[in-house]
Each structure stands twice: as C-alpha cells, then as structure tokens.
Structure 1
C-alpha cells in the first residue's frame, strides 16, 4: 500500500447521517446481546420445545442469527464474531440432535431453504477467513456436490443434482411427510394454489377436500417433484464458490461452472428462459409430461421467479465472481428480461397475487396506484401471479458487472413504475431488504435525504425488535419456528448500502461481494473503527466516492479502505479532499477561520489504501478503479 493518507478537514457541525450511523451500530450491539439472553441456552442453541416437521425447519434455526457476522464485518462489536460462531456451533448440535443434519450439513432439503440457512455460514467465512475450522467445513460441504462424492448428490453423466431434496445424506427422494396427502386443510398454502397441474380430477383447491384427491395429489408430488433436478438447486453453486474463494481450488470452480453451463444450455433450448425441472435421464420435462415448468419450488408453485429467478441470479453471480466474465450473468439477464417484456400495468390492490403483505409494506398507499406488474409464475394457462418486480435481482446483475445494459434495465424499471422511487418507508421484511428503489434514486443524485431517512428506518426497526423482545412472554414450547427471525434486532440493509455501496445479499443463498470493505489495522479485524462513519454516494464502473468521518473528539483512528470484500478491483489512484488554514485559530476569536478546501491525487496501484483519521476530522475519497484486476478471494487482514 501507499503511505497513509491523512484526513485534514475539521468536521465542524457533525453530519446527521454520521451520528445516526454510529448510533445504529451501538443499538444493534445492545440488541444482539439481549436477543441471546432472551432466546438462547448457555451452549449457544435456541430455547425451543415445540414440534418439528419431517424435513422443513432447519433453516429457521440458523436464520435467527443470519446477519450477525455481516454486522461484525461492517464494524460491530469485537466479540460478535466469536458469539456468532458460538451460536452456529450450538444450533448445529441442536439440529443434529433433532435429526436435520448429517455431519453438520442439512440432511436433505430444497435449496430455497438450504440457501436461507447457509448465508449465515457464508457470512462467517467472509468475516473471518483465517478460521481454519470454518475453512475445513467449507471444503467438506462443497465436496458433497462434486463428481465422485460418496454423498452421490451429483450425476456427472447428466450434469444434474439427482433430487430436489439433497444434502449431507445424498439425494433424499420424495417430499415432506406432511404433504404425502396434500389436502384442502393446508390453508396456509392455499394462496399458492395447486402444487401440480395435470392431476386427473383436480382442477381447483376445493377438489382437495376429497381425501382420495388429496392422496392422489400427494402421490403425484412424490413422483413428479420428489426426483430429478430442479432450478433452485442452482443455489448450491455458492457452496463451491465459497470454498474456491479460500485457495482457488480448480475442482470447486470446475463443478460450479459445469453445473451453471448445464442450466444455461437448458435455458437456451427453452427460448432463453430457465426451465425448472430436469428428469433423472437429464431431459427437461421428463417427469412433467414434457412441461418445462412444474418442478419443486419452480415456475408453477409456490413462488415462481422468487425462487427460480433468485437461484439463477445467485448462480450467475457465482460464475462472474469465479471468472470475472460478465457473460456468466446472461442466464439471469435473459430470465428477467423475459418477464419484464410481459409486464402489464395494474394496481396491487386490484390484482390477485400470492404475496400481498410484502408489497403492502414496501409500497404502502402506492398499492392503489397503477404500476408495472410482472408475471411471477407459469402454468398450463400461461403466465399468472402478477406482482411488482423485486429490485434485488436486477440490482445484483448491475453490481456484478456495472455494464450499461444492466443500468439501463434498472432505469427502464423506474420509468415503468407508477410510484415515486424516492419514498422511504418504515418497514423491515424477512430478507432485511426492500429499500432498493430509494437507494438507487440516491445514487442517481435525486434523493439527497436518503441516508438520514434510511438510517432512521433502521433505528426504528431495531427499536421495534427490542420492544418486541421486552414484552415477549412466549413459552419455548409454544414458539413458532419463525419467531426468532421476527425478533432479531440486527438489521444490516442500511449499513450495507450506505457504508459499502452494496445492496442486501440475495437471501436464498447468495454471496456478499461488497463494493467497499473497511479494515481496522489497530484491532486487526474487518469493519469500521470505533467512532468512524462512512458514506458511499457514488457507485460507477470505474469510480467509487465516499466520505469518512471520525466523530471522536480525542482519538485518532486508522482505517484501510479495500476495493471489494473479495479484493478484485485495483485502486489506480485516489483524489482526496484537503484543507489548509489556521484552524482552530486564536482562542480569543469567537469562531475559527474557515479552511481552504482543495484536493490532491495519490497514486495507489493496489486494492487497498490506508487513511489516518485524526480526532474530529473528515475526508472525501474519489477512488478510480480498474475492475477485476485480481482474482476474488477471502482476504484476511495481514
């Protein structure tokens, strides 16, 4: 690295965003401590005495802590990484005792849910890449899907994962035992409609009231959705991509790209759209009478693009991380464009759709306004279940490549929307996401109040979780397995956007390649140092601009700014703000003379630069970048 850059500009009146940001770090560090006291046992496991299902549920236990390592990586408390690992270990033992795991990994379930649980593990690996125990686990888990693995999850002859449910125990044929007879009494699933089409005598939900029909539907689900490959298995590529980031083992890269290529070829043969099922012989539609839709967690049921689109984007991003090749994103680009081309205009309040509460929170009163709705699902009668587009998917395609076509896609979505993208609403959904629109408007330069508004939302939502914990008297025997997620007081969306210039990760199994990573050389760890706040206000292909503020009145802080959490980009040069003058001036004066502002340019030629932050000083950095100069890697602070 070059010689440290020294911040020279006095703060003057501290920016509101900086004060709010440091407050957010503080209250979340208070919050996770209270959460563990309220919901956890001394061994790190969760207080739970309720029933468990035959296959579903392991993800919900891990999701209680899913973003704790991310908070540490951003600058949370020093002991948070050890606490997060302690909970991962405790929950893993707990789930092993409950029969969900084999050798610390999911016994066998769908990757829509495995992906939800694994983002906790991936975040631990990224936050502390020097931990040899988690490195060994990363290798061991990835090996489960390589050709020749004793687990037998993968068939190299057909380039398929052999079953929709898979994991540490290998292919796990069939479906949840609770669905062996799929009847109308499953009222929580009614909003998603029939899980399969083409079942004789069953054309509506009410037909499932007949026990014979319920048994027939369950049997058909076992036969057609309990074998073969399914598109959500694409999220398994994060296992091997995560392992590859440690030491660039070619075996992990080869399988990731081979499996991604197989699905890319299937999409190309299906007019560019990813099908959702492949039979045991490697043929699309083999178990579904030739239909390219109908697979488990596929286009027809229950979520459509929410599951298939997410998995395609996750795998595409993994391919881009491994190769630096933006064409790896095409499988996801084509999928989204296919849906956007079929968009209609309508109001959420006047449209029949399966997931309504998400949009009521995200759009508020704008649910009554006509806006762009895209088809989420496909059945025998064509596309249906029209909803607003989930912006997290196209945003990550833009983040991965920063190509003009990806930025244009987002611009067009904004133009077709019937609501104001600048509006910031006070909500938090399961994915700790949903504020992408106002953030994009901020980056576009027309939403200047976004940092304070979004930090206000984050503080409000964390306080709400603290208050929910304070009044919670639920007995462990009566807990719903989603209870912990709804009380988790760690909310990282605002910090990711504002401190690193990065959207919230793709929740069903995505990696988190940050645009900017901060390292604290004095504490030997990732994250912003104490008292230091950061705001990224420009994110462009070859340029990132940010401001650092040291709110301490007495302590000098040092911070290393790294171009990407995986260190792929080279900082060619940095234009930094300077200040000259007689500050603080003579003591008899009523005020200090204003400094003379200027800039200077420093040649960096590295993926890191160090900034010294004297007390009460601020600095603005304009980083000029060359992208994908270095191979992506889990990088520890040397």
Structure 2
C-alpha cells in the first residue's frame, strides 16, 4: 500500500469543524437514544404483544444508523450498541411471533428491504462478526433455493413464488390478522382492485375499516395477488449480494445475475414494460385475466412507479457491483425511458404517469430526477447525466431540506424517508453548481439532531406512553416511534465525507465513492479530529480534501476506493492549501494511506478505474477466520 505524507499547515475550513461537531454530537446522542428506549439486554421498552405481519422492519429502521455511524467514524461504543440492539430486536420480534430462525417469517420486500438495511450496515461495520457472516449465507439460502424450510424460489421458472415471503417460505394465503395493523392507514389509499362491490375506485379511497370490505379485500388478494413474482422481489438481490460481500461465493453472484436476467426477459416479452405480476407458471398476468398491471405493490396499487423503479435500480446497482458491467443498468434505464416517453407537458413542466389502471396510464406527476441520479452515481455515464438533464433541475433544487422542520430554505417541501431528502442538491454540488452546499447541509444536520433530541426528551418521546395494549390506530402507530424520535441521522455527514447519496431506503446497499479506516486503531471510519470532503467525482477521478484539526497528534488515514473496495486508485496528486501540487505518486491499489502531521491537511486528486476489483466487506487487515463457517448436526 502506498503511503503519502501531508505536513503543511492547513487552516480548518468551517465544514471540517462542523463535521467533527456532528460526530461528537451523534456519538453522545446515540448513547442517550439507546438508554431511553432499550433495556440492558438489547430489547426495546415496549408493549407485551404485537399483531399482524407488519412491524418487524420498523424497530430495525429506528436503530439501523448506529451501525452506519460507526462505519463513518463513530465511537467504539456505538458498534457495541449496534450489535446489542440488533440482537435484542431480533429476539423480541421472534417472541412476538413474526421472526422465525432470526429472519422475518413472511412479508414483502418493500418492508424486508427497509428492515435489513441494519443488517447490511453491520456488514460494512464489522465483517469479522461470525454470527452475521453466517446469518448472511443462511438468509440468502432462503431465496436462492438452498433452504428447504423456505422454498421461496423456483429455480426452474426463475421466480420468487409469492410477494409475501420469508423464513417460512411463500405465503399463498393471507389472513385478516396479517393486515390488522394497516386497516386505518389504508382507508386513505385507493382500492387494490377496480371491481370490488361497494367501493368507488374513482374516489381514490377504500374503507379497510369496514369489516365486509376488509374480508373481500383479503379474499381477492389471496385469489389474485398472493401467488407468483413481482418487481418488488428484486430487492432480494441486495440480501444475496450482501452474502457475496461477506463470503465471496460465486453461487450468490450467479443467482443475482440470473434472477435479474429473468426479469429482463419478462420485460422483453411484455413489449418493453415491466409487468407487475407473473404467475407460478411464469405466465404474465396469470391471476389477473392476462393483465400485466394490477399486481401486489405494482402499477395500480398502492404506490405505482415508486415500487417499480426502486427495486430495479437496487438490483441493477447490485449487478454492476458484482460484474463491473454498466449494461446491467439497462433494466432500470429502459423503464425510466419508457416512463419518460409517456410524459405530458403541464404548466411548463414534464409529468409522467405513476400508475396504470384498466383505463390506461394515470396519476401524472412531475418527473423525479432522484432516480436517474442514483443510476448516474453508479455509472458516471453521460447517458445517465442526460436522463437527469432532460427532466430539468430548477433553481429550487439547490435548496436544502431541513429535516424535521416544515420545509426547506425556500419554504418548499419534499417527502423523505429517514429524513434523507437532499440527494438533488448534493448532486448539484458535486456537479459544481452548489458551492456552499457542504456548510449548509452540515448546519441542517445539526438542526435536525437538536430537534430530534428535543422530541426524544419530551413527553411525546416517553416510551412508557407507547406501551398501551389495543389494536386501535393510535396504539398501532407506536411502531414508528423509534424512527420519529431517533436523533442519529446524518445525511449531510455521509454525503460530504463519502461522496455519495444516501442509499435507497427500501433495500439499497450503501454505495460510496470512498470510505476510510483509522490506521493507528485498525478500525473503520475517520480518525478523531479529521475532516474529509469529497469535492468532485467523475468516471475516472475524484477530488478529496483531508484535514487534521489536532495540533498535538499525527493521524494516519487509509482511504478505500468504493464502499466495497470495488474501485482502484491509479495515481494520486497532492496539493497544499494554496493549490500548489506538492507530490505525485502511482498507486495501483484500492487502498491509499495518508499521514497527516498535526494541523496538516491536503487536497488529493485521485485518478481511478471503477469496478476493477471483486467487491467485498474485507477490511485492510485480513481476517484469519474469514473462511470459517460453523455447521451443525443433522438430526
């Protein structure tokens, strides 16, 4: 590994000081958050029972960023808490009856995708943790056909056999109890079907709270939706890719690529548009009278395009990670292009359809640049940049959403998940169009933590108030409280240090331009007192600024090319604070070591080859036990 040395004084910019303030604040906030809501054994202070299949994802989501904070440079205590809480939640929801063999017994891959982000972040944080490495292989087997107790996958037809799946296999028959927690929420959504007696589909609402209607919904879901494959299942490729990153088994890679190829064939067969339901025979529309629309979480109900395009992007990004082949993105690109071809010009803006019903395309909304931005980050290709530019980024896209508050600096609002709402202004920054973004987003992050701590400490944040029994809407809504109160949010900190957008919340891996290791302490993350800013990224280079704010201690940072070591640095040019090139070195490795003298800093221009290496969770320091997998007796 090449080692560079920066010795010239570098006066810390304000963004660097803000980064270290955020790390210090997040470390303390995380401990307080866990103390308020978690027992000493890692279980959550909550109610004695929980009904229905919904909900095991939500506690994981509430605490998942403990693991990712450690990856970035959070304290050692944060990693201990991350492991303890994951184990506690898994045990607790098994006792509630929804988790079996440490994996969700059955639900869809929108919710599996959200919940298992925590598991993926633990892979980045602690790849030597045998329990999780072994779990990753076991969980993947539930989808690749290797687990007889969970026959979710049909290898002959190359399909996942139900939208509702998990450690107990495909769930072809749902019950009224399964959906009990959703009844009040789904009252405000359109009906899943257009031909239901007593429901006016055109009204856009459907009374799940009405017992007769509810029974009919469950009956029709079992008849039409519970069997066969849907696009949402493509999020399972993240779990199998996660297993590959742990163990490097080619069978996992091959399954991901083959399953995506099967969906590509279905798109071709359907005239270029992805169908949202495929029967157990492999026939499109098998239980929908031949209609390619109308499936579970498909083109008609409930979210439309969102739950079509997101799993396609996640799967395509996984395929590129595993192969380096940018053509793997075409499965997602093709659907963005077909959607764009259906656009309308309304009030000077292009709108695209989000839903398809029996009468045709509908629910036109402004095209969202978020989706092509995620593709561009993987490819850095001009064609994906053009997909962003054709939508047009307005001046308001420079504005920062201040999460947890009522709007942005300009008074507008974007819906967010986990308070991650600033991918578009980050993209503008990395394109050179939003130069003040680092300082502004870090300040917004600080405001968010402050706001979340105030909520957490208020009577509203008292977990004793959430423990009430009952299945009314108010009692059931407490399942989201940990996410609502969590102060461990850091979109701006990740964007600035790792040069990447936050993951897609419904099951995307956390990709990055770079990640860091503390060489002296031999652990992931930036060393204490060090700030980092990725200033620019392109297909062949990135620009990175590093600053040691300690005047007393030397720091050594190892920079890794890509979140999973998938890229390779070719050459490094070091500049001082005055912009003068002071050192040029060949690298030819995925790792680069930089020694920062006390008070020193540097700007590095790094040329690189993207997707040149086999991706892996492996850290700089080899794990002598990596190949060790435990095996039990067969009784």
TM over 0.5: yes
The equivalences for 1:295-444 within 5 A come to 295-346=295-346, 371-413=349-391, 415=392, 417-428=393-404, 429-444=416-431
User: 1:48 Cα shift?
Assistant: 0.9
Which residue in 1 is equivalent to 2:164?
A: 165
Which residue in 2 is equivalent to 1:467?
A: 454
Which residue in 2 is equivalent to 1:522?
A: 520
Native 8 Å contact 2:52 2:179 kept in 1: no
Native 8 Å contact 2:517 2:559 kept in 1: yes
Distance 1:92 1:7, change over 3 A: same
Output the TM-score relative to the length of structure 1: 0.89
**Residue 5 (structure 1) aligned with residue 9 (structure 2):** no
User: 1:389 Cα shift?
Assistant: 4.0
Equivalents in 2 of 1:295, 1:528: separation in Å?
Answer: 45
Equivalents in 2 of 1:337, 1:329: separation in Å?
Answer: 12
* 2:190 pairs with one of 182, 188, 193: 193
Distance 1:387 1:459, change over 3 A: farther
Distance 1:509 1:575, change over 3 A: same
RMSD: 2.2
Equivalents in 1 of 2:515, 2:78: separation in Å?
Answer: 18
Q: Give the unaligned 5+ runs of structure 2.
A: 405-415, 469-474, 622-635
Q: Deviations over 1:375-407 (max 9, x none)?
A: 222211222233344444322211222111011
Distance 1:599 1:371, change over 3 A: farther
Equivalents in 2 of 1:201, 1:179: separation in Å?
Answer: 23
Equivalents in 2 of 1:342, 1:396: separation in Å?
Answer: 21
Which residue in 2 is equivalent to 1:110?
A: 108
Equivalents in 1 of 2:579, 2:442: separation in Å?
Answer: 31
Q: Deviations over 1:248-279 (max 9, x none)?
A: 21211121111111111111222322211111
Native 8 Å contact 2:498 2:514 kept in 1: yes
Native 8 Å contact 1:500 1:516 kept in 2: yes
More moved, 537-546 vs 560-569: 560-569
Equivalents in 2 of 1:178, 1:372: separation in Å?
Answer: 42
Q: Deviations over 1:403-452 (max 9, x none)?
A: 11011112222x2x455221113125323322112111111212111001
Distance 1:455 1:68, change over 3 A: same
Which residue in 1 is equivalent to 2:467?
A: 477
User: 1:200 Cα shift?
Assistant: 5.4
Equivalents in 2 of 1:426, 1:286: separation in Å?
Answer: 46
Native 8 Å contact 1:173 1:226 kept in 2: yes
The equivalences for 1:148-227 within 5 A come to 148-150=146-148, 151-175=150-174, 177-178=176-177, 186-199=183-196, 202-204=199-201, 212-227=212-227
User: 1:89 Cα shift?
Assistant: 0.3
Which residue in 1 is equivalent to 2:234?
A: 234
Equivalents in 1 of 2:144, 2:524: separation in Å?
Answer: 32
User: 1:140 Cα shift?
Assistant: 0.6
Native 8 Å contact 1:181 1:215 kept in 2: no
Q: Deviations over 1:210-253 (max 9, x none)?
A: 76554333311121112211111110111111111123212111
Native 8 Å contact 1:567 1:607 kept in 2: yes
Native 8 Å contact 1:108 1:170 kept in 2: yes
Equivalents in 1 of 2:579, 2:437: separation in Å?
Answer: 28
Distance 1:487 1:390, change over 3 A: farther
Equivalents in 1 of 2:579, 2:244: separation in Å?
Answer: 49
Match of 2:537, SS state, is strand
Distance 1:527 1:179, change over 3 A: closer
* 1:626 pairs with one of 604, 609, 620: 609
Equivalents in 1 of 2:453, 2:206: separation in Å?
Answer: 45
Equivalents in 1 of 2:180, 2:286: separation in Å?
Answer: 23
User: 1:526 Cα shift?
Assistant: 0.9
Output the TM-score relative to the length of structure 2: 0.90
Equivalents in 2 of 1:499, 1:180: separation in Å?
Answer: 41
The equivalences for 1:527-538 within 5 A come to 527-538=525-536
Native 8 Å contact 2:274 2:335 kept in 1: yes
**Residue 555 (structure 1) aligned with residue 553 (structure 2):** yes
**Residue 447 (structure 1) aligned with residue 434 (structure 2):** yes
Equivalents in 1 of 2:569, 2:179: separation in Å?
Answer: 57
Native 8 Å contact 2:51 2:180 kept in 1: no
**Residue 577 (structure 1) aligned with residue 575 (structure 2):** yes
